[in-house]
Amino acid sequence: MQLFLFWCAALLMLVFGVAVILNRNPVASALSLVVSFLGLATLFMMLDAYFIGIIQVLVYAGAVMVLFLFIIMLLDLRAENLRKINWPATAGGAVVAFVFLIQVLSVIGRLTDAKKTFPPLARSTIDDVRNVGVTLFTNFNFPFQVIGVLVLVATIGVVVLSKRELANK
């Protein structure tokens, strides 16, 4: 049963992942990305990482995706005109990606742990937001602060990038 659900979620994620890069229309791509991330969130939940699954939905499906859609709308990006596809380049890229996948899979195949199942947990981690929080504020307090500064810098950067154009007007 679990295995079936796992493959459902995984296939959902992968199929819509492929849809992201194959869709010609950016809006369709963005919406595919949302679905792909929903599948990913399911996988997180199946790994007993409820908090991560929740913020995956909140941040990606909620914030980031809105941002993408907003920009696509703002720039009024239509479906791309059919340009001449550079077939050698496309084929080369596909080959490189494929070789890369084979390589990674072979690395995973060599990994002895890869054949083991997950050990059982003592109890449900449905309340793991507390555990993540404790870890975050004890072991990773300083990086957490740094991340805060980074977000601040990013915010300022975004403002500056957008505002310079306004000043020119």
Residues 142-161 interacting with other proteins (rule: CB under 8 A): 143, 147, 150-151, 154-155, 157-158, 161
CA distance 138 to 8: 37
Shortest Cβ 117–other proteins spacing (Å): 4
Q: In this chain, which of 73, 111, 126, 145 binds other proteins, going by CB under 8 A? A: 111
Q: Does residue 108 belong to the site contacting other proteins (CB under 8 A)?
A: yes
SS3 9: helix
Among positions 42-71, residues that touch other proteins (CB under 8 A) are 43-44, 46-49, 51-52, 55-56, 59-60, 63-64, 67-68, 71
Q: Does residue 167 belong to the site contacting other proteins (CB under 8 A)?
A: no
- What's the token pair of residue 109? 């195949």
Shortest Cβ 65–other proteins spacing (Å): 9
Closest by Cα among 27, 65, 60, 28 to 41: 60
Shortest Cβ 25–other proteins spacing (Å): 10
User: Vertex 48, ends 46 and 54: CA angle to 5°?
Assistant: 85
CA distance 109 to 103: 10
How many residues interact with other proteins (rule CB under 8 A)?
91
Q: Say which amino acid occupies 29.
A: S
The conformational region for residue 120 under phi > 0 = left, psi -120 to 50 = alpha, else beta, is beta
Q: Does residue 107 belong to the site contacting other proteins (CB under 8 A)?
A: yes
Among positions 76-105, residues that touch other proteins (CB under 8 A) are 77, 80, 83, 89-90, 92-94, 96-101, 103-105
CA distance 67 to 61: 10
Shortest Cβ 163–other proteins spacing (Å): 10
Q: What is the CA radius of gyration of the chain?
A: 21
Shortest Cβ 32–other proteins spacing (Å): 9
